[in-house]
Structure 1
Amino acid sequence: MARSAATTVDAYLAELPPERRAVAERLRELIVANLPAGYVEAMNWGMPSYEVPLSRHPDTYNGQPLGYVAFAAQKNGYSLYLIGVSVDADREAELREAFARAGKKLDMGKACVRFKRLDDLPLPAIGRLIAAMPVDDFIAACERSRGR
């Protein structure tokens, strides 16, 4: 799927074929079930995004909300963006260990975990990582990563 022009997550999901929609809906459920208070669901960068609203933290490097988690149905698979993991080395190590313990192969860029099927992910561990970073901690980690 190319970058979506949908303005809501529901509209984004409706654009997907049924089997891809099922994966995206499960990701949304996992994220929402584990998302600490203070983050909001939005469409940003052409994908569902869970972010710190500008009303809470307006001083960002690009004028956009701080994205915490996002996901996208890509042409050849899916991407799960765990920005909270990318700004905290301990959380990245936890993610890597969770994949190793589950016997799953981690295909990861800086914050992007690429996968073909939900079975490729250690979902309980990802849920715990999402739940583990309250908004204030995430803002502080982002500020540290930018040398502030």
Structure 2
Amino acid sequence: MKIEAKTPQEYLTKVPENRRDALIKLRETILNNLPLGYEETMNYGMIGYVVPHAIYPKGYHCNPKLPLPFISIANQKNFIALYHCGMYADDKIMQWFVDEFPKFSRFKLDMGKSCIRFKKPDAIPFELIGKLVKRISVENFIELYERNTKKH
């Protein structure tokens, strides 16, 4: 369910009303916990948090014209999605999140390798998401990214 928008604010105005408040709060949670250096942008039709070219000129290896993606949030057809590239690249962060999730939510964790799916807006554990966002500085994410992309 792609939403055409040029800015995060425009994106949020186009989200269905029953999910809008949750996505606004999710965005605020990310912005309030995002380490210095990351930037908010629109990326792949989602609200994205990236390492800008000013910090990492190489950009994303799949398309160097794009900044290095870190986190994205989106309204999908059947859920709100949070994509976290740090969890994808670091098994320790993934395990930490999986272990912590039941302490912050009464819902079952629904996730793939980097995508956390929230079928109900009230299922989002905002406090835990804030802790997750804080865990990786820009410098640490670049190191993690480069270590993982050199393997391929």
Determine if the TM-score, normalized by the shorter chain, exceeds 0.5.
Answer: yes
Aligned-partner residue type, residue 120 of structure 1: A
Aligned residue runs from structure 1 range 104-119, under 5 A:
104-119=107-122
2:98 corresponds to = 96
Tell me, in whole angstroms, the C-alpha distance in 2 between the residues paired with 1:101 and 1:24. 22
Question: 1:125 is paired with a residue of what secondary structure?
Answer: helix
Aligned partner (choices 101, 107, 129) of residue 126 of structure 1 = 129
Given that 1:69 and 1:82 are in contact with CA atoms closer than 8 Å, whether structure 2 keeps it comes out as yes
Given that 2:50 and 2:69 are in contact with CA atoms closer than 8 Å, whether structure 1 keeps it comes out as yes
Aligned residue runs from structure 1 range 56-95, under 5 A:
56-59=55-58, 60-61=60-61, 62-63=63-64, 64-95=66-97
Question: 2:131 is paired with a residue of what secondary structure?
Answer: helix
Q: In the alignment, is residue 139 of structure 1 matched against residue 138 of structure 2?
A: no
Tell me, in whole angstroms, the C-alpha distance in 1 between the residues paired with 2:22 and 2:127. 15
Question: 1:51 is paired with a residue of what secondary structure?
Answer: strand
Alignment size in residue pairs: 147
Given that 2:80 and 2:121 are in contact with CA atoms closer than 8 Å, whether structure 1 keeps it comes out as no
- Spell out, residue by residue over 1:16-75, the C-alpha distance to the aligned partner (whole angstroms, 9 max, x if none): 232221111011011001000100000010010000011211213121211111110111
Given that 1:98 and 1:122 are in contact with CA atoms closer than 8 Å, whether structure 2 keeps it comes out as no
1:18 corresponds to = 17
1:43 corresponds to = 42
Aligned CA RMSD, in angstroms, stands at 1.4
List, as ranges, runs of 4+ consecutive aligned residues in structure 1 with deviation greater than 4 Å: none
Given that 1:86 and 1:111 are in contact with CA atoms closer than 8 Å, whether structure 2 keeps it comes out as yes
Tell me, in whole angstroms, the C-alpha distance in 2 between the residues paired with 1:121 and 1:98. 13
* Runs of 5+ consecutive residues of structure 2 not aligned to the other structure: none
Given that 2:81 and 2:115 are in contact with CA atoms closer than 8 Å, whether structure 1 keeps it comes out as yes
Tell me, in whole angstroms, the C-alpha distance in 1 between the residues paired with 2:120 and 2:93. 23
1:54 corresponds to = 53
Given that 1:95 and 1:126 are in contact with CA atoms closer than 8 Å, whether structure 2 keeps it comes out as no
Tell me, in whole angstroms, the C-alpha distance in 2 between the residues paired with 1:104 and 1:4. 27
**More off after superposition, 27-36 vs 109-118:** 109-118
